[in-house]
Structure 1
Amino acid sequence: MTPDAVPLSGPRFLAEPACLYREMRREHGPVVPVLLVGDVPAWLVLGYRELHQVTGDPVLFSRDSGLWNRWESIPADWPLLPVIGRRQPSVLYTVGERHRQRAAVISNALEAVAPSALRGHAERFADELIDAVCPTGGTDLIAHYAMLLPVRVLARLYGFPDEDGPGLVTALNDMIDGRGRALAGQAHLAASMGQLVADRAKEPAADVVSRMLADDSGFTHEEIAQDLMVMMAAGHQPTADWIGNSLRLMLTDDRFAASLFGGQGSVAEAMNEVLWEDTPTQNVAGRWALRDTHLGGRRVAAGDLLLLGLQGANSDPQIRTDARALTGGNRAHFSFGHGEHRCPFPAQEIAEVIARTGIEVVLDRLPDIDLAVPAESLTRRPSPWLRGLTELPVRFTPVPAL
């Protein structure tokens, strides 16, 4: 690893990652040497073409984390282990035909979710959350809304009791942020999923977990529980950040002012622009080189870890010759990944319905909504993987609950 590796953390990474990615690309090219927590080296792939190559070639760039050439130096309490786990039995780290079978089980279980039921759950939970704050004239749309809505909908689809939602939110946030409580969050989520799978094996119901258990592909309860953990983590926090980042854009950009007062169409435009310019999933770990190779002018050794710089690739100037044309309905971004390990289409559709419903309910229920603090004072959570707001304080005219 080169001596000028860039720490994947720090104030600038949180405050202005777009500027930092541009500097990285200018100084290092499309493949950047970086350091993770504990000075663990990796490569951050920022080039659009290079990322397309890495995600589209599972033979050379494998999802098998057991290939990593750094495992001997990784401590047992490394906070990024929940994200870069060795030989985790989940769909994330399975390769080849077995991965395709597991991905099909997940897609089939999610595809069976009725669109009308999904929309109904999202509207009902969104209305309940707004009912709790609408008479007050002000709230934090992150803590009291965006951070609660996706997990409540997903928990209902999977088969969790509604009262389990708050504990799942805390565990998911701890695990994904990659800090001191990451392993404890992973343990809570694993125990919850294991219990749900055991309960549904005894008493099936009309939910995602029961449909996965009923599949005849021969996966164990542990494998199904692991995949459910992946689905919950990938479905909740990025969707919550999609809601928060989209609302921030609409409340701070004059182009979306009309939609705040009954205009049509701008919600979808704001959501798509966020996926290009401020995507919730900034970086993904990762891929491992199966043999020595070259990528973006760099010599990558066998077993090296490559991080997928989704936001960096989305803003690659080599393909961003006309930003307006790319963001205005163009969905060639990397925000859902690419290749055989990209987010399954049914999962993307569920996330989009939850996010769009959540945003529309806010705009419909809270008249003359506005930011309660200066836009420049808004801050982001300290995660190398996801980019979401710590809070989004708003004010509005108090209205009665439904």
Structure 2
Amino acid sequence: MNPQSSDSPHLDAPNPPAGCPVRPAGATTRLYAAESTVDPYGTYSRLRKQYGPVAPVLLEGDVPAWLVLGYRENRRALDNPSQFSRDSRTWRDWKEGRIEETSPLIPMLGWRPDCLSQDGEPHQRLRRAVTDTMETVVNRGIRRHVVHFAHRQIDAFADTGHADLVIQYSEHLPMLVLTRLFGLPETDGEHLVASCAQVMKGGEDAIVHNERITRVLADLTSHKRAEPGPDFTSGLIQHPASLEHEEVHNHLRLVLLAAHTTTSNLLARVFQMILSDSSRLADLVSGQMTTAAIVEEVMWNAPPLAVLPGRFATADCELGGQHVKAGDLLVLGLAPGNLDPEIRPHTGTAVRGNQAHLAFSSGPHECPGQGVGQAIIETAVEVLIHRLPGLRLAVDPAELSDTASTWETRLDRLLVSFPPQGSSHVGR
């Protein structure tokens, strides 16, 4: 990092009185520090009590930002790109040279020639290519790929009577499906799982792993231009929007990161919810409850992306009682927004049938891959439940632990037991 400008206040300055408008450069809470990642929801609650719905924080490298905690404030920032742009070229700290190319924030916040980094007509052109191609891929039978790989994953542990559904199922299944959809060799999947995890985690290796992902997908793009096939990559290349080489592989990167990290995280959380309550599992097996209803509940209470990067103020404005300056960075608290006491005074309030959560973001940049993720999760749950009758959690639910970063909170392990089963011919 380059030195901060001379007018930046000292990081150890005392916290301002509650409700007092501050600028993000006065933040003292580091979202990446141990105290924040061990108990992220506790940090969100403390910041809300101290500052209200918008709080000043520090991201990795002590980069100042506003964390949007309020549900309504998140909606305002997400739904108004003219006020809060996704184009990081307007980011003041970047323009003034305080963010280096090697910052671990760059993989998550840096500008790229993809639909996420742009607004207006350029965004519409690129997003249309992604959504059109994604619809074609889904219509070609994504569930068939999920069934194939789900059975193959289960075959690896079905005869043992025990498994870790995070490591042996949820972490890898979505990536195996994505490699098939992209037209990638399956052997690339293992390395891409590790690289996606490191990019989300941050740290000094984030840039290296981001470059690895980019290199694999750039090579894939070149290969598919020469030898197209019935896959997502070829569909992007052939779309009437005429995407350039860099636009294609950057959209592959965007979809891969978003689809794998959120779907794998969400799949593990769905299993956690099902197996932590025997009545839920019974209702699911009997058909009284659907996987979609459980997914919806998880989306409200533990969205796979807890904090969404990022938006950049296009002009001075007021948000949640804070004076936001042009060029300020905002990160969107999807998890705290969903638990905002202004809209959910009681966190136990039933949310079934209510899809107004923030988990898919909102506005023009709302996640375009919702259908793909939903198909993977519903099929993966269905196959596992039917393959392993008698499935149960092998530990007390209170013993389950998480690992958090700035952007997400992931389940560490999910140990289960079941009567040993034979392998499936379907998965062979």
Pairing of 1:109-128 with structure 2 (within 5 A):
109-115=133-139, 117-128=141-152
What residue is the counterpart of 1:232 in the other structure? 256
8 Å contact kept, 2:311–2:331: yes
Q: Which moved more, 1:364-373 or 1:298-307?
A: 364-373
Q: Which residue of 1 aligns with 2:43?
A: 20
- Residue 64 in structure 1 maps to residue 87 in structure 2: yes
Report the equivalent of 2:416: 394
The one-character-per-residue Cα deviations of 1:335-380 (angstroms, maximum 9, x if unpaired) are 0010101111xx1011001011112222111222222233233222
Distance (Å, rounded) in 1 between the aligned partners of 2:284 and 2:243? 47
What's the TM-score once normalised by structure 1's chain length? 0.94
In structure 2, distance between residues paired with 1:137 and 1:13: 37
Length-normalised TM-score, structure 2: 0.89
Instruction: Determine if the alignment matches structure 1 residue 359 to structure 2 residue 381.
Output: yes
Q: Distance in 2 between matches of 1:74 and 1:12?
A: 24
- Aligned runs of 1:235-254 on 2, under 5 Å? 235-254=259-278
Q: For each residue in 1:262-306, what CA deviation from the matched residue of structure 2 results, as whole angstroms up to 9, or x when unmatched?
A: 454242222111000011011111000111111110001111000
Larger displacement relative to structure 2 (8-17 or 162-171): 8-17
**What SS does structure 2 have at the residue aligned with 1:245?**
helix
CA distance in 2, matches of 1:338, 1:184: 30
Selected match of 1:33 from 49, 56, 66 = 56
**Residue 115 of structure 2 contacts residue 127 of structure 2 at CA under 8 Å; is this kept in 1?**
yes
Q: Aligned pair in 2 of structure 1 residues 130, 311: CA closer, same or farther (>3 Å)? A: same
Give unmatched runs, 5+ long, in structure 2. 1-23
Greater shift, 93-102 or 112-121, is seen at: 112-121
2:102 pairs with 1:77: yes
Percent of aligned positions that are identical:
36
Could you say which residue in structure 2 is the equivalent of 1:50? 73
Secondary structure in structure 2 of the residue aligned to 1:271? helix
1:380 paired residue among 398, 402, 405: 402
Q: Does the Cα contact within 8 Å between 1:256 and 1:266 map onto a contact in 2? A: no
Q: How far 1:113 moved relative to its partner? A: 2.0
Q: Which of 362, 368, 374 is residue 338 of structure 1 equivalent to?
A: 362
RMSD: 1.8
Count of aligned positions: 399
How far does the alpha carbon of each residue in 1:108-162 deviate from its partner, in whole angstroms, 9 at most, with x for none?
0001124461111111100100011111111111111101111111111111122
- Kept in 1: contact 2:41–2:336 (CA 8 A): yes
Amino acid at match of 1:83: M
| Cα shift readout 1:176-213 (whole Å, capped 9, x = no counterpart) | 21123211211111111111111111111111111111
| Cross-structure match for 1:190 | 214
Indicate the SS of the match to 2:386.
helix
Letter in 1 for 2:252: L
More off after superposition, 319-328 vs 60-69: 319-328
Assess, with a 3 A threshold, how the Cα gap between structure 1 residues 252 and 156 changes in structure 2: closer, same or farther: same
User: For 2:150 and 2:81, how far apart are their aligned partners in 1?
Assistant: 39
1:100 lines up with 2:99 in the alignment: no
Structure 1 counterpart of 2:418, one-letter code: F
Deviations 1:197-243 (A, max 9, x none): 11111111111111111112232111110011000101011000111
Residues 235-269 of structure 1 deviation map (CA, whole Å, 9 limit, x = unaligned): 01100011101111111135414146545424222
- Of stretches 376-385 and 142-151 in structure 1, the one that deviates more from structure 2 is 376-385
Report the counterpart of residue 337 of structure 2 in structure 1.
313
Say if 1:367 and 1:127 are closer, same or farther in 2 by CA, change over 3 A: same
Could you say what secondary structure the match of 1:121 adopts? helix
Distance apart, 1:175 and its partner CA: 1.3
Q: Distance in 1 between matches of 2:293 and 2:37?
A: 25
Distance 2:78 2:284 in 1: 38
Indicate if the aligned counterparts of 1:291 and 1:302 stay in contact, CA closer than 8 A. Answer: yes
Partner secondary structure for residue 409 of structure 2: coil
1:80 aligned partner, one-letter code = L
Determine which structure has more spread, i.e. the larger CA radius of gyration: 2
> After TM superposition, where is structure 1 displaced by more than 6 Å over at least 4 residues in a row?
none
Query: For the Cα contact (< 8 Å) 1:367–1:397, is it kept in 2?
Result: yes
User: 1:132: which partner in 2?
Assistant: 156
The offset of 1:22, in angstroms, is 2.3
Contact 1:292 1:299 in 2 (8 A): yes
Structure 1 position 7, deviation (Å): 1.6
Give the SS at the match of 1:388.
strand
Contact between 1:260 and 1:368, CA under 8 Å: does it hold in 2? no
Asked if residue 205 in structure 1 is aligned to residue 229 in structure 2, the reply is: yes
User: Retained in 2: the 8 A contact 1:82–1:182?
Assistant: yes
User: For 1:44-87, what per-residue CA distance to the aligned partner results, in whole angstroms no more than 9, with x for missing partners?
Assistant: 011111111111111111111011111222233222211011x3
Counterpart of 1:351 in structure 2: which amino acid? G
- Once the two structures are overlaid, the 10-residue window that deviates more, 56-65 or 257-266, is 257-266
Cα distance in structure 1, aligned partners of 2:203 and 2:271:
27
- 1:326–1:374: structure 2 CA closer, same or farther, 3 Å change rule? closer
Rounded to whole Å, the distance in 2 between the matches of 1:54 and 1:247 is 32
The 2-side partners of 1:300 and 1:163 are apart by 46
Displacement of 1:399 in angstroms is 1.0
Which amino acid in the other structure matches residue 68 of structure 2?
V
Q: Give the Cα separation in 2 of the matches to 1:16 and 1:115.
A: 41
State the distance in 1 between where 2:301 and 2:36 align: 15
1:35 counterpart SS class: strand
Partners of 2:350 and 2:284 lie apart in 1 by 24
